[in-house]
Amino acid sequence: MIRPLSKTRIRVAWAIALAVDAIQVPADLTGPVGWFLSAGLDLITMVVMWAMLGFHWAFLPSFVTEAVPWLNLAPLWTLAVALATRGRGPEAPPVPPTLPPQT
């Protein structure tokens, strides 16, 4: 079973993914220098996401497709974090059963 993640880890992962996608769109438009920097940023992002959230299959296509120029214009890290954190929030405390009203 996949272990639940804390709200803090989920929020930080979302913030990192949004920031990386926001940095990579302008970097991808600058040409080969931006593509090189974007590839390095992808590698760092993948390692950080695996350390924070654990392994998830959504990170592999994101890393590979982010390395392709012009395909980087889609927010793929944000999508990968959405898939990796879906349903993995902290568990809610159990709700005690309620008794029906007595008449």
> For residue 56, is pLDDT > 60?
yes
> For residue 19, is pLDDT > 80?
yes
Q: Please state, rounded to an integer, the average pLDDT across all residues of the chain.
A: 78
Write out the two tokens for 32.
């080969």
Q: What are the residue boundaries of the structural domains of the chain, listed by start?
A: 7-85
Give, in degrees to the nearest 5, the angle at Cα 22 between 20 and 27. 90
The reported pTM is 0.73
Question: What's residue 87's pLDDT?
Answer: 76
Q: What per-residue string of b and e applies to 76-85 under the rule 16 or more CB within 10 Å gives b?
A: bbbebbeebb
Question: What's residue 1's pLDDT?
Answer: 45
User: What's the whole-number mean pLDDT along residues 61-82?
Assistant: 73
